[in-house]
Structure 1
Amino acid sequence: MDLTRLPDDLPAPADDGAADHLAGTPLPAISLPATDGSVVALDRLGSGRTIVYAYPLTGRPGTDLPDDWDTIPGARGCTAEACAFRDHHADLLAAGASTVYGLSTQDTPYQREAVDRLHLPFPMLSDGAFELTRAMGLPTFEVAGRTLLRRLTMVVRNGVVEKVFYPVFPPDQHAAEVLAWLVRTPGS
């Protein structure tokens, strides 16, 4: 299975309002481990805009995805989305983003393998203990006995969520959507 390509018949997620409360919310004083070995204090991201895109889980070649993964609206496409953020990374920075982070509930060693395999120029953050998920009420879903984040992106400006993209579909085109928003909405 090629994890970088999406099937044509993926179901689109519906906007259930589960992220409506996030815009205008300050990030909490929570620190998360990153794949570059650092610990990122979310309430001290610094000035400028930080892109935090949340995703359910990245697959690995040779490892089965959960049963019926492709039938869950919004589940499939994490690798394709990460590759799109990789491919648009320089453009995102040129358009005013100071940093890009991926965010999932997968542990850091698992995420590090994806960062290395996909040659991602940005770190992934692990919310394996669900601290950020609970504190901010991030939308989740259950599959195969696991709680996973629903796909969304927050643009954080000076520690506050400025813009939320939710639901995200199709995931392989989402980085371009974030880039277009940054170009249309320059920071001051």
Structure 2
Amino acid sequence: MLQPGTAAPDFELKNAQGETFRLADLRNRKNVVLYFYPKNDTRGCTAEACSFRDQFEIFQEQGAEVVGVSSDNSASHQKFSAKYQLPFTLLSDPGGRVAKMYGVPKTLGLIPGRATFVIDKSGEIKYAFNSQLKPLEHVQNALKILQQLPAASTEQ
């Protein structure tokens, strides 16, 4: 798994609306909380997504963009996002290509992993956390790290 101090690999993936999202588009503008999760609408993943949703304003106040990534398709992301009113971007990573770039480990070698990265606006990973069993810790830990970083520009 990529560690703090490493440059965050750039990537392009489709969001829930089928539009292309590029990590590089946020560089020099926003800090990014990039979180990888196993599957839409499962207990732990739903709790994690809803926790990010409930803290979303605080992430915005910290100048951060929250981005969730799983191998689910765009239609699944649309349903998941609508069902739980998720105000942040969900990306489809078919085959786990981007998860592999970030070294997100699989659980038991089979289940897609759960990992969170805080990336500063210069593109450097400042925090990396891997835990399948504690999805809510990802949200709180990411917030703590963001509060230590200079706030990113709020310009769009």
Show the counterpart of 1:122: 88
Aligned length: 149
Show the counterpart of 2:125: 161
Pairs within 5 Å for 1:22-171: 22-47=3-28, 48-59=30-41, 76-97=43-64, 99-141=65-107, 147-157=110-120, 158-167=122-131, 169-171=133-135
Larger of the two Rg values belongs to structure = 1
Point out 4+ residue stretches in structure 1 off by more than 4 angstroms: none
Question: 1:52·1:153 contact (CA, 8 Å) conserved in 2?
Answer: yes
Q: CA shift at 1:117, angstroms?
A: 0.4
Q: CA shift at 1:174, angstroms?
A: 3.3
- Given the two structures, how large is their TM-score scaled by the length of structure 2? 0.82
Percent identity over the alignment is 29
- Structure 1 vs Structure 2 CA RMSD: 2.2
Q: Deviations over 1:133-170 (max 9, x none)?
A: 23232212368xxx543111101112222211222653
Q: CA shift at 1:86, angstroms?
A: 0.2
Q: Go from structure 1 to structure 2 and tell me whether the alpha carbon gap of 1:24 and 1:36 turns closer, same or farther (over 3 Å shift).
A: farther
Structure 1, unpaired ranges of 5+:
1-18, 61-75
Q: Deviations over 1:23-68 (max 9, x none)?
A: 23323342001114421112342223111111111226xxxxxxxx
Question: 1:88·1:176 contact (CA, 8 Å) conserved in 2?
Answer: no
Structure 2, unpaired ranges of 5+:
152-156
Structure having the higher helix fraction is 2
Which amino acid counterpart does residue 159 of structure 1 have in structure 2? Answer: G
Q: Go from structure 1 to structure 2 and tell me whether the alpha carbon gap of 1:135 and 1:152 turns closer, same or farther (over 3 Å shift).
A: closer
Query: Using the alignment, how far apart are the partners of 1:86 and 1:111 within structure 2?
Result: 14
